[in-house]
Structures are given as structure tokens and as C-alpha cells.
Amino acid sequence: MADDRFVLTDGQAHDLAYRYGTPLYIVSESGLRSRIKRWKSAFDSAWPGAEITFASKANSTLAVLAIAHQEGCLIDVASEGELRAALAAGVPASRCHLHGNNKSSAEIRFAVESGIGQIVVDNFEEIEVIAGLPEPRPEIIIRLAPGVEPKTNAKISTGQADTKFGFNINDLSAERALLRCLRLGLNVVGFHCHVGSQLLDPGAQISGGEIIAEFAARMKSSHGFEAKILNVGGGLGVRYTDNDEPMPVEDYCQAIATAVRQALEGSGLTPRLVQEPGRSIIAEAGVTLYRIGVVKTVPIKGGTRTYISVDGGLADNPRPALYGSRYEVRLITANNRPPGPDATFTVSGRHCETDRLFPDVQLPKNAQRGDLLQVLCTGAYNSVMASNYNRYARPATILVRTDGTSEMVQRPETWDEMFARETVPADLA
């Protein structure tokens, strides 16, 4: 598969770092738009009339949501906050789907009052809450737990039997959920599953699609219910490192469509097929820039280790700490200094933790204070997971427009904003 990750030139990196500071998130508008177009074309070729929903949990920056909407994506939101973000970006609520394993009654009411397009129900309590709301009520999709074990980090596996998400098929919870919705007169339109994220082996996602299609066929045979929509979730992996080889989007869509088509054969069902890519749309369209500070060599058993400390870390990218995530890291030297031969470094952040961002990476030996590090494939789950740990302000996001110009679409947090939520009681001041 061709490597089309967004990469800044040295000149672009220096210019952006000078103008906006570091750490800095950068998103390529052309890269984002081209990935959406590729997904939509591939899926429509595999299943005519299929739809793409952008999983906004991967990156809910308003400009990103606006671009996804412009390109014809539906928007998957997993909280009231994500729905409000979509609305603020100009996305009609009718183009949004509400997810979540523990939606509050207030969240559901807000979504319905806003005109939400679909609610993906996850438990019996949600069904009763929705049934208690006045009409008109939104479309309902029932989330299923297909009982498959994806090959990915356990913390981002969601489709196995032992999961907080959805209705289990094997213990008949899924069938009971459908029957309860039908008895209450809810507008059930189909079924959903999502088995996990960063799937470099998509076998589990393909199996999940097959299983929910088989379930849909059984529900028609047993209860006369005709599913109009089958949503097979997202999860296709991306090229975080040069060694990662995700399946091409075209092959992936064909494989899922073929599995679903075979499972529905003879059922008479012709549902619309939906997928919810997030990471695979935005991750490779983004990079992060850091500036090198301290370079320090320390003794370890059998030798030494050299640490490069940068002006970011755990607060702007918690994924290495959470999942042991690896990234491709590239040095951009200051003052056009020629890079030397490679050596092994551990890139660490500035936080009061071990905070090893990128252990044992190969970088030019003459890396020094003032140089920049460009980290590829950071468009997903970086800015949305950012925190104020150690009271660091969250970074800005820059959009590189299709004409090559840049525009700040999320400014850096200010000190006043950081402390705006807090007060000191008078007797403590």
C-alpha cells in the first residue's frame, strides 16, 4: 500500500513553528479531503448507496468536522459535547448519530430535541428512556456485541463477549432488545457493531459484519423485522510506523461487503451498509511538531542511553503511555545544519512521569537543542485526548489549506482559560 502520510517539508516545519510555536498540531486539509473521497468511492463501489460516518471521537476540532460534513460524511458523536461540537461546526443534528454505552437521560433528551438523526442504543435502560420521550422520536440502531476477538490492544477491543458495549447476541439479549423496541413502537431501522480500533488484521471486523448480517436475516425469519441499515463500525488501522501495513481501503471495503452479501443471501434483505472510520480518515492527515530542549546521556546496564527531551509529552499525546503506541519521528535541524549519521535515542516529554514518548528511535546523531521533531500520523486521538497535566496549556491546531497557506483553527489555551473554572474560598485567599 502506498505511503501517503502527510509530511511537512523542513521549510514548512520551521515556518509553522516560528509563527505559532511548539508543541503544535498540524492537519492537512488536502490529505483529509482526499482520504474521505477515497473511502466514499471505495465503499460505494463495494456496496452501491453505502454511507460513511466520520467517528468524531478521533478528532472533533470544528474545522475537521466542517470538512467531513462538506465531503458528505455523516458524523458519529459519543457525547453531548461531541454533538455540540458538530452543531457548532455547522453540521445539522439530523446528520449525526449518537453513540455511548452510558448515555444520560439529559444527553438523550438534548440529542432528540436537537433533531438527532439516529441513536445507537446500547442497553435496555436507554430503550425505556427513548420510549418515554414525546414524538417525533429518532431512528434507532441496536448495537450488537458479535463476540469476536480482534487482533489489537485490549484497551481498544470492543466486540468480544466480555465488553461493556452493546447487546450480546449469544445470550439472546440482542433479540430481546429488538422485540422490546418493536413493542414500544420505536423506529428501529437496523443493527450496529464495532469490534475494535487500529486493526491491521481486519479479519475480526469482517467477521463482525458477517455476524450482524446473519442476525438480521434471523430476525426477519423469526419476527418479520426487515433491517434497513447495517452499520459495521470502523477500526481499519493506519501506518503509525514505516513497518505498519494496513489493508488498502478498497480491499477492506470489498471484503466487508462480500461477507455481508454472502450472509444475507436468500434473506431478501437489501439494507444500506454504513461504516464509521475515524482514525483511518484523520490520523495520517496530521503531524505534531516539538522543539528539542535537553539532550542527556545516562549510564544503563551494559552501556548508555541518550534522552532527548521535547517541549510536549504526556499532556498532548497520552497514547504511548496508554497503549504503548509507536510513531515515526523525524528530525528537522535548525539553521539548515546537515544531519549526521543515525544513533538510537529515547524521546521523552517534560512531565513528572517517565513520559517516554518514543523509545529507541533512530535519529541523526547530532540532534541538539533548538532542532524540531516532526511526529507523523498524529491526526487522531492526540488533540482530543490532550490535558493540562502539570498545568501545561493545550496546543494550537493549524490547518494547512489546499492552496498551501496555513490557518489557526484551534488557538493555544491561555492561562486565564486554564484557571477560569476555579475559585479560592475567601478565607483561603
| Angstrom distance (rounded) from CA 398 to CA 28 | 9
253 as an active site residue: the answer is no
Residues 6+ apart with CB under 8 A from 394: 315, 316, 383, 386, 387, 388, 412, 413
- Whether residue 65 contacts residue 76, with contact meaning beta carbons closer than 8 Å, is answered with no
Alpha carbon distance 401, 412 (integer Å): 19
Cα dihedral 64/67/71/74 (nearest 10): 50
Q: What are 216's three cell numbers? A: 438480521
Given 73, 96, 181, 352, the catalytic residue: 352
Q: Report phi then psi at 406, rounded to 5.
A: -125, 150
Cβ neighbours for 317, distance < 8 A, ≥ 6 positions apart: 288, 357, 375, 378, 382, 385, 386
Q: How far apart are CA 31 and CA 247, in angstroms?
A: 18
* Helix axis angle, 203-223 to 249-264, nearest 10°: 30
CA distance 330 to 285: 16
Start-to-end CA distance of the chain, whole Å, equals: 61
CA–CA separation, 236 vs 349, rounded Å? 29
Give the CA-trace dihedral at 271, 276, 282, 283, to 10 degrees.
Answer: -130
Residues in the chain: 429
Catalytic residues: 352
